[in-house]
A and B are shown apart, each in its own frame.
Chain A
Amino acid sequence: MAGGTGLLARARPRLAQRLALRRPLRGPQRRHRGAAAAQAAVTAALLLFTLLALPELLSLYYIDAMTQVAVYSVVALGLGVLVGRVGLVSLGQVAVLAIGAWVAARLLFATAQPYPLILLEAGLITMAAGTVIGLPALRLRGLYLALITLMLAGAITVVLATTNFPNGGHGFLGYNGGSVHIPAIRRPGIAGSDPAYFRYAVVVAALMFLLAGAHLRTRPGRAWAAIRRSEPAALAAGINTTFYKLWALALASFITGVAGGVLAGAVQYLYSIDFPTYYSITLLAVVLMGGAYSLWGAVVAGLLYQLLPALLHNWGVSADWLTIVFGVGVLQVLTTAPAGLAEQVPRDLRRLARLARRLGRGKEAGEVTAR
């Protein structure tokens, strides 16, 4: 923890600080204009590379894995907004993702609507569901809020296990258990192949990141920052804290619902066994590992959650070792890198660069004196 925030934490030990939440990232207005432009350029270049070059470079196996990374980055983004920006910790995001996937699958089987419309509807319906379920829970704080979301996720998991995911059947549930041929969930016409669907998922993910970023830079973002710093102070400043907390919940549910829609098309077959309750806890762990306080943290979390398993698997490492690695990773990051890898690694790199520069300078200086 950096010195400044550490001091603040000791002075006013609130949830946000104890979670080692850093103060809101300095906005672009405070940063050098040039640096902001450079960062935007790097982001754009990375995005272009991901969209254009990556599918050509990777095998289908890794393209599929990267599609999952795109999906789970968005899920991590939603959780990151809740945890890092507002200080609301949810242990039920995978259940929300499952709701989004369920809705999208049901609509995809039932209607011939265009895909973007389906994603929007999945997002909106998940948003409604997430908000209605989450509304009473918002009265709780900290650990209790987190644990009640875990309980709600457990309940949703049982319902999903019993109703199953739609598989082209009739009726409201759209499930036909007797099906001898389960039809695949359709994909958009322009993204039928795996590489094309990967690009599609990345574009949707980028839009979700833009949506979240736009929130953070405008009034809701400022309100969330105030709430996280001190709820009473925010109230005193005339901020409708309940409204903005609900807004955060709605935003997170919406983008997670959209991610569920993208997931439905990515995997094409949905099973309730793929959304066990404890995945929500693992997700929180990787989000904390990646860093809940920056948008990049969400991407890192997505990579940790989906690419790392694919990599290890391809190297012939048993899935059990991965579980162990995750366990050790959770412990390591929580004890030594509270702000997550997204902040830790660049800081280490910066430190390394500084060191290299200093060494270089020393060398130059030496040369000068020698001359």
Chain B
Amino acid sequence: MPGWQDFQPFIVSGLALGGVYALSGVGMVVLYQATGVVYLAFGAVGAMGALIAWSLTDAGAPGWAGWLACVAFGAVVTLAYGMVFGPALAKRDPLVKATATLGLTLVLFGLMDLLWTTSGGQARSITLPTDGSGFGIGQVQVDWTQVISLAVGIAIAVATGLFLRLTKLGTAMRAMANDREITATLGVPVRRVEAAAWLGCGVLAGVAGILLADLVALDATTLTFLVISSLAAALIARLRSITLTFLAAIVVGLVHDLLTPVQSLTNYRDMTPFVLAAVALLVLSRHRAIARSREEA
């Protein structure tokens, strides 16, 4: 068993990884809150946005133009998807809605591999100005991008939480996710509110895409399917609480990385999000907390 000294650096990297999970976890919860859709394409949209940003900067465009393009791409694609398929699937089961977003995921995934092939050993990366500069806490090195990912995670969680709770639009979103038809009869402009929700989630997907491309990897496969492990944090929070999603993401990241130096468990550390989510769901269901889930309300 490694000593305390060996675990220290992994606390920092674990927090950063938690930030990574939080970024996509929070985005998915926001959209689920607002539209009732588990947006599995979250990662793919961000990945494609990041690849577009890479192409632009590679062709000589300034960094900020690339980032802007990434966010714009996320917003446009997500909004378009929401406007076309949102109404068509409005009355279907949440699971069908989630599966449909997999359709978008596959389309984007295929496009990415066509347009940004990895043939010939091509590897890409996005670096942010904050990379490589940082500070030390004792023996442990911390770099600013790690700090930023955590800070952005917190900022997004707080901002969207406040938005959903305090603004009129946010309240309308939450009401609509609960019951679209009743909300419509109450005079809420359903389409506009939904459009706002999709647009917001798209922007989040774009921002997350750029950050994750730097923090994790600028790789279509990695970023696209990172949502499956990020979903764990959202699930622990029962897809409802943004604060809880954020905290769960941090716990998942910490546990994951603290297992890294443990020789016997290190290869199983990728199970962390899944196991924690499964345990949390089962324990919660024992308390009947989610027995009356959305589709039965």
A–B direct contact (CB < 8 Å)? yes
Is B225 in contact with chain A by the CB < 8 A criterion?
A: yes
Q: Is the CB of A89 within 8 A of B95?
A: yes
Q: Is the CB of B95 within 8 A of A148?
A: no
Q: Is the CB of A140 within 8 A of B281?
A: yes
9-residue interface stretch from B2-10, B12-20, B110-118? B110-118
CB distance from A249 to the nearest CB of B (A): 16
Is A189 in contact with chain B by the CB < 8 A criterion?
A: no
Is A303 in contact with chain B by the CB < 8 A criterion?
A: no
9-residue interface stretch from A59-67, A111-119, A211-219, A320-328? A320-328
Given contacts A143-B293, A148-B278, A277-B228, contact A162 B106 (CB under 8 A): no
Q: Is the CB of A331 within 8 A of B104?
A: yes
Say which size band chain A's interface belongs to: 35 or more
Could you say which residues of chain B place their CB within 8 Å of the CB of A331? Answer: 85, 100, 103-104, 107
Interface residues in A142-164 (C-beta closer than 8 Å to B):
142-144, 146-148, 150-152, 154-155, 158-159, 161-162
Interface residues in A284-331 (C-beta closer than 8 Å to B):
284-285, 288, 318, 320-324, 326-331
Is B38 in contact with chain A by the CB < 8 A criterion?
A: yes
Q: Is the CB of A18 within 8 A of B295?
A: yes
CB distance from B208 to the nearest CB of A (A): 19
Q: How far is the CA of A324 from the CA of B112 in the complex (A)?
A: 10
Enumerate chain A interface residues (CB-CB to B < 8 A): 9, 14-15, 18-20, 89, 136-137, 139-144, 146-148, 150-152, 154-155, 158-159, 161-162, 276-278, 281-282, 284-285, 288, 318, 320-324, 326-331, 334-335, 338
Is B178 in contact with chain A by the CB < 8 A criterion?
A: no
Could you say which residues of chain B place their CB within 8 Å of the CB of A329? Answer: 103
Most interface-central of B99, B100, B238, B275 (chain A CB within 10 A): B99
Interface residues in B257-276 (C-beta closer than 8 Å to A):
267-268, 270-271, 273-275
Enumerate chain B interface residues (CB-CB to A < 8 A): 38, 40, 85, 88-89, 91-96, 98-100, 102-111, 113-114, 225, 228-229, 231-232, 235, 238, 267-268, 270-271, 273-275, 277-278, 281-282, 285-286, 290-291, 293-296
Q: Is the CB of A323 within 8 A of B113?
A: yes
Given contacts A324-B107, A324-B111, contact A284 B99 (CB under 8 A): yes
Closest A residue to B112 by CB, please name it.
Answer: A320
Closest A residue to B104 by CB, please name it.
Answer: A327
Closest B residue to A287 by CB, please name it.
Answer: B99
Closest A residue to B117 by CB, please name it.
Answer: A320
Could you say which residues of chain A place their CB within 8 Å of the CB of B98? Answer: 143, 146
Chain B binding surface SS class: helix
Q: How far is the CA of A338 from the CA of B93 in the complex (A)?
A: 11
Most interface-central of A137, A284, A324 (chain B CB within 10 A): A324
Q: Is the CB of A320 within 8 A of B110?
A: yes
10 residue pairs of the A-B complex, CB under 8 angstroms, read A18-B91, A142-B293, A143-B93, A320-B113, A323-B110, A328-B103, A330-B102, A334-B103, A335-B85, A335-B100
Q: Is the CB of B106 within 8 A of A159?
A: no
Could you say which residues of chain A place their CB within 8 Å of the CB of B271? Answer: 154-155, 158-159
Q: How far is the CA of A173 from the CA of B105 in the complex (A)?
A: 35
Q: How far is the CA of A320 from the CA of B221 in the complex (A)?
A: 12
Closest B residue to A138 by CB, please name it.
Answer: B285
Q: How far is the CA of A278 from the CA of B106 in the complex (A)?
A: 11
Given contacts A19-B93, A330-B103, contact A158 B225 (CB under 8 A): no
Q: How far is the CA of A141 from the CA of B288 in the complex (A)?
A: 11
Q: Is the CB of B95 within 8 A of A158?
A: no
Q: Is the CB of A136 within 8 A of B282?
A: yes
CB distance from B15 to the nearest CB of A (A): 22
Q: Is the CB of B282 within 8 A of A139?
A: yes
Q: Is the CB of B295 within 8 A of A15?
A: yes
Could you say which residues of chain A place their CB within 8 Å of the CB of B278? Answer: 137, 148, 151-152, 155
Given A143-B95, A285-B103, A328-B103, 11 further pairs, Cβ under 8 A = A15-B295, A142-B296, A143-B38, A148-B277, A151-B281, A154-B274, A158-B274, A327-B107, A327-B108, A334-B96, A334-B103
Q: Is the CB of B273 within 8 A of A141?
A: no
Q: Is the CB of A19 within 8 A of B282?
A: no
Closest A residue to B114 by CB, please name it.
Answer: A320
Could you say which residues of chain B place their CB within 8 Å of the CB of A9? Answer: 91
A-B CB proximity, top 8 nearest: A327-B106, A323-B110, A330-B103, A327-B107, A324-B110, A331-B103, A18-B93, A154-B274
CB distance from A144 to the nearest CB of B (A): 6
Q: Is the CB of A281 within 8 A of B102?
A: yes
CB distance from A99 to the nearest CB of B (A): 15
